[in-house]
Amino acid sequence: MSFSVPSNDREKVVSKLPGWLRQSLKVRTAQYGIEIQAAVEQGINDWCALAATPATVDTAGADSFSTFLPPGRWERFREIAADRRVSLIQGLAQSVQLWLDANPAPHVERPAITRRIVVCNQKGGVGKTAITAGLGEALAEDSEALYPVRVAKALSKALRASETHADPVGQGDDPLDVENLPGPGLRVLLVDFDPQCHLTNQLGASPLPMNGDSLTNHMAGDPKGELRDLIVSVDDETFDGRLHLLPACNDAFLLDVRLSAVRAREAALERALAPLEGDYDVIIVDCPPSLGLSMDAAAYYGRRRENERTGQSGALIVVQAEDSSADAYELLTTQVDDLRGDLQVEIDYLGIVVNLYDSRRGYIATSSLQGWVDIKDPRVVGLIGDLKEQKEAVRVKKPLLSYAPKSQQAVGMRALAREVL
């Protein structure tokens, strides 16, 4: 049936579709960035133009489905369905399937050069590990599924709200600022480069034993095997083998000492990870709170390579909305700038993530956030609230985006992933 409703000179059509087909339609239109009604209209047009009826579609369990079509289009469809002795539900299902077949899922766009993201700050406790994990999880989510994402206008609104002491990342966010979008579907390696092993422990893996092989050994030129043999997969049920972790080892406490005897030590991390790059689209390094030789090696790893576009790789700086983060930020950027000058390399800043934000902490939090926003270059690319889901995920040793996929923090992590992309 159909009845007229003012909607851009279209009429509302109410019929039925099976749930699986409706979901496929939602995902595919989101992948192509078009409206569902446009896809259905094209499918119906193509179905009506066929010389013969296509194969039957399983419509068991079909439920209510509505869309908008140009006036008269549904009546024409009804006439052709009657001529072909096909029910309206079956005809609509065939039309949608016809459009899906004509518009296959786009291939995941893979970078020509593996992107390298160095998550850093000299200050500990700002949540570098949580951002590393959340960003990697968001980049690895399924390109054939939809996830709630805080869109760019919501981030802008949140940053503007800081000027009025509002709560930009609280539970009262406008739901219209969240869209359901396909996951990027990228192959991601998380590298735990911190001897404290926080990332390893938070994701439920075991730190590497001191008497075995480790990233430290490979960087120091004393490997005991293949580095890829140390890699573990993270939550295959959610990420389907796209998210991996290189666990840490406590021997990294000795890394700076061992690097002091290594030739071209700034390139030590790159030499170790280079054999793995062909297996991944993105490698994210969770750095220790240090300004030593290991940080030099991490910053160098994130440098812009030949033929690599600006902003594809580089340093992502995690801060909190408080004064000590500003002091640490100055120390870190000074070290990176010195490395740029000494080695004549380009190291891009991918942005600043303000983590663990809570406007209820008053003037210090809101004014500090405004201070980060005012920097402009690098700009703020993420604002993550201090909410309970992240702490709970750590407690149960599960990825945040599989433990609480619809939480405000998860929605914010997906927004950050799209800003970085």
In this predicted model, what pLDDT tens digit does every residue of 61-76 receive, in sequence order?
Answer: 999 999 999 999 999 9
Quote the pLDDT of residue 6: 45
Strand order, beta sheet including 63-69 = 2-7, 10-17, 63-69
Can you give the pLDDT at residue 195?
A: 93
Cα–Cα distances (Å) from 16 to 1, 65, 84, in that order, read 10, 5, 19
Tell which residue, 417, 327, 389, has the closest CA to residue 169. Answer: 389
In the prediction, which pLDDT does 326 show? 82
User: What pLDDT sits at residue 76?
Assistant: 95
Q: pLDDT digit of tens for each residue in the chain (421 aa)? A: 343 344 557 899 999 999 999 999 999 999 999 999 999 999 999 999 999 989 999 999 999 999 999 999 999 999 999 999 999 999 999 999 999 999 999 999 899 999 999 999 988 889 999 999 999 999 999 999 999 998 766 666 666 665 555 555 554 444 448 899 999 999 999 999 999 999 999 999 999 999 999 999 999 999 999 999 999 999 999 999 999 999 999 988 889 999 988 999 999 999 999 999 999 999 999 998 888 899 999 999 999 999 999 999 999 999 998 878 888 899 999 999 999 999 999 999 999 999 999 888 888 888 889 999 999 899 999 999 999 999 999 999 999 999 999 999 999 999 999 999 8
DSSP code per residue over 241-301: T-EEEE--BGGGGGHHHHHTTSTTGGGHHHHHHGGGGGG-SEEEEE--S--SHHHHHHHHH
β-partners of residue 245 are 190, 232
- Whole-Å CA distances, 25 to 70, 242, 277: 19, 24, 34
Element (H, E) at 188: strand 188-192
Return the pLDDT at 17.
96
Both ends of the chain: CA-CA distance in Å? 44
pLDDT at 176: 46
Task: Give the C-alpha separation, 186 to 209, whole Å.
Answer: 30
The one-character DSSP state at 208 is B
354 beta partners: 319, 383
Q: What is the pLDDT of residue 173?
A: 46
Amino acid occupying residue 31:
Q
Query: Quick one: CA torsion of 257, 258, 261, 266, rounded to 10 degrees?
Result: -90
Query: Do residues 242 and 187 touch, judged by C-beta distance below 8 A?
Result: yes
Cβ-based burial of 30 (10 A; exposed 0-12, middle 13-18, buried ≥19): middle
CA–CA separation, 111 and 376 (whole Å): 27
**Domain spans, the chain:** 2-102, 115-420
pLDDT tens column, 93-136: 999 999 999 999 999 989 999 999 999 998 888 999 999 999 99
- For 376, the 3-state DSSP assignment is coil
Contact 229, 162 (CB under 8 A): no
CATH homologous superfamily for the domain 115-420: P-loop containing nucleotide triphosphate hydrolases (3.40.50.300)
pLDDT for position 335? 94
Burial of 72 per CB tally in 10 Å (0-12, 13-18, 19+) = exposed
In words, the CATH class of domain 2-102 is mainly alpha
